Amino acid sequence: MGDAEHGRLKRKEYEKELAKLHVELVKLQEWVKQQRAKICIVFEGRDGAGKGGTIKAITERVSPRVFRVVALPAPTDREKSQMYAQRYLVHLPAAGEVVIFDRSWYNRVERVMGFCTEEEAQRFLEVTPRVEHAMVESGIVLLKYWLEVNEKEQTRRLTQRIEDGRKIWKLSPMDLQSYSRWYDYSRARDAMFAATDLPYAPWYVARSDDKRACAPEPDPPPAFADSL
C-alpha cells in the first residue's frame, strides 16, 4: 500500500486510512460512554516529536465532552512544592471520559535542563510506579506513549517552526537550548523507561518521524520491568 519504493502512503491513501481510524475512535467513544470506562492517555517525547499533531488527529472527530485534552502550563511556586503528580490528579478521568495528557507528571523528570535535581528525579522514579498502580487499581486504563523522532527529523521540524509564522508559537527559548542535549535526553529517557515501564502501566514507543510511513504497530514496551 502506498509508494512501495519509499514505504509511504500517498496523500489520498493516508487520508482514507485516517478516516477509517476516526470511525474506530467514534466507536471507542460510544463504548467508553456505555461502559463508563475511565481512559487516561499520556503522550511524551522530545520537542518536535509530534505530540500536538497526534492529539489533534485523535480528537478532531470526537466529542470534547468525552475526549478531554490536558496541557498544563509551567507549575507555580506553590505547585512545585506539592507531591510530584498532585496537580495532575484532579484532571484524571471520571466514568465515561478519555483524558489525554500532552506531557504529564513525567515532566518532573526534566533534570537535563536543571528543573529538578538528580535526587529529586530519582525520588520521582521511585514513587511514580506506586502512584500509577493506585490509578490502575481505581479502574483507570492507563496508556503511556513515547513518540520517538530521530535527530535529523527533529532538526527539520524545529527549523520549520522558526520559518513558519503559523508555528512560531510552538517554539520556546528552552526548545533551542534543549536541542543540543540530544544524548542527555536519551539517557534520561532510558532511565525513565527502566523505572516506570511496568506490567500494569507499560510504555509503548511509536515512531513519529513520518506520519505517512507504512509502519507496523507501535513497538512493544521496552523489557525493563523484569530487571526491577
Q: Higher-confidence residue: 51 or 181?
A: 51
Query: Over the stretch 32-43, which tens digit does the pLDDT of each residue have?
Result: 999 999 999 999
Task: Give the pLDDT score at 205.
Answer: 93
Task: Give the pLDDT score at 126.
Answer: 94
Q: Write the CB contacts of 159 (distance below 8 Å, at least 6 apart in sequence).
A: none
Cα–Cα distance for residue pair 21/15, rounded to 1 Å:
10
Cα–Cα distance for residue pair 23/34, rounded to 1 Å:
17
Least confident among 88-92, 136-140, 183-187:
183-187
Query: Over the stretch 92-120, which tens digit does the pLDDT of each residue have?
Result: 999 999 999 998 999 765 777 677 888 88
Residue 39's beta-bridge partner residues? 98, 141
Residue 111 in grid coordinates = 533534570
Residue 102's beta-bridge partner residues? 43
Least confident among 72-76, 78-82, 218-222:
218-222
Cα–Cα distance for residue pair 53/199, rounded to 1 Å:
28
What is the four-CA torsion angle of 159, 162, 165, 168, rounded to 10 degrees? 110
Task: Give the pLDDT score at 165.
Answer: 65
In three-state secondary structure terms, 43 is strand
Query: In the chain, what percentage of residues exceed pLDDT 90?
Result: 47
Task: Give the pLDDT score at 163.
Answer: 66
Task: Give the pLDDT score at 34.
Answer: 97
Computed over every residue of the chain, the mean pLDDT equals 83
Q: What is the DSSP string of 188-203?
A: HHHHHHHHH-BTTB-E
For residue 219, pLDDT beyond 90:
no
Query: In the chain, what percentage of residues exceed pLDDT 70?
Result: 79
Cα–Cα distance for residue pair 134/9, rounded to 1 Å:
41
Task: Give the pLDDT score at 178.
Answer: 59
Task: Give the pLDDT score at 175.
Answer: 60
Burial of residue 103 (CB within 10 Å: 0-12, 13-18, 19+) is middle
Residue 17 in grid coordinates = 486510512
Cα→Cα distances 213→8, 60, 70, 173, 203, Å: 4, 21, 28, 31, 22
Instruction: Report whether 27 contacts 60 (CB < 8 A).
Output: no
Q: What is the mean pLDDT of residues 40-51?
A: 88
